Structure 1
Amino acid sequence: MESIPLYISRDDHAKLRLLLNALPPSAGNALLKLRAELARAVVIDPAAIPADVVVMGSHIEYEDLSTGETERHTLVFPEQADIDAHRLSVLAPIGTALIGCRAGQVVDWFTPGGVRQLKIHRVTPPARAAADSPRPVVAAWLPGLERWARPSSQP
């Protein structure tokens, strides 16, 4: 199958690289899959990301083509994940499969039972304010990063 191009904003790419660097090697498959996706992604300016591209914080409606079930989730960083609240971690296999893809695309989702396919029906961009600050996201993983991530105008 031909590889689907992925589009990731420079900001999301930087935050996801920090996440990867903070994960222990025991994270295994999640670490490897996300690393592979980031390596093949086209990194672009956040303002140039089309509205139908799945970015961190996007609201996504997709269909599992094997079951016909439609799901709606928000793609989030691991510490924000809550399946009951429909917040899906980027480290979950399905989250890693969706990041950087566009509405209308069919995406392969690798599960323990084999490959399944998802069709992305709709992508709603995140609220800009929540997506602009990396501090709450990365500070949870790396001690001392809060100080590093603070804007230089703050003490």
Structure 2
Amino acid sequence: MRDHPIVISEPDARVLRGLLSARATRGHDQEHLEELSLELERAQVLKPEQVAADVVTMHKPLRILDLSNGSRQELTLVGPADANVSARRISVLAPLGTALLGYREGDEVEWLMPGGVRRIRIESVQSAHVGAH
């Protein structure tokens, strides 16, 4: 769990609460979903216009740098139904999506992958696409 609460927009909080309640009875990824639920409970939920431009939220394109191999990747966090790896749309419920949510441009993030801990830096966060929510 993070040292400080994440910042999340009200629309993202609503989406996440809905996704978590819909998956509450399923066994798949239960530990990961419980961790996300705890993060959401302690999150600072703000109106979209109050969320700083450099905070990672759903539907905001961002660029990350993998600190272990130097590769860069552009991606956008979306709901599971809109996820498409080839289009670089990552589910907010995927471990990487959950790890990035609420962090800011310049932050370094660690998350556990099947092959071990990975470290990335958020290089840039862009404005959300119009009509994304």
Q: TM-score, normalised by structure 1?
A: 0.78
Q: Distance in 2 between matches of 1:64 and 1:52?
A: 19
Q: Does 1:8 align with 2:8?
A: yes
The alpha carbon displacement at 1:39 in A equals: 2.3
Gap runs ≥5 in structure 1: 132-155
More helix by share: 1
Query: How far apart, CA to CA, are the structure 1 residues paired with 2:4 and 2:119?
Result: 13
Matched, 1:34 2:36: yes
1:122 matched to 2:124? The reply is yes
Root-mean-square deviation (CA, aligned residues, Å) is 1.7
- C-alpha distance in 2 between matches for 1:71 and 1:115: 18
Per-residue CA deviations over 1:130-154 (Å, capped at 9, x if unaligned) read 21xxxxxxxxxxxxxxxxxxxxxxx
**CA displacement 1:42-69 (0-9 Å, x = unmatched):** 1112110011111110101001111111
Identity among equivalent positions (%) equals 43
Q: Counterparts of 2:78 and 2:35 in 1: how far apart (Å)?
A: 16
- Structure 1 or 2, whichever has the larger Rg, is 1
Moved over 2 A (4+): none
Does the CA-based 8 Å contact 1:33-1:96 persist in structure 2? Answer: no
User: Displacement of 1:36 after TM fit?
Assistant: 2.4
User: Which sections of structure 2, spanning at least 5 residues, go unmatched?
Assistant: none
Q: How does 1:32-111 map to 2 (within 5 A)?
A: 32-111=34-113
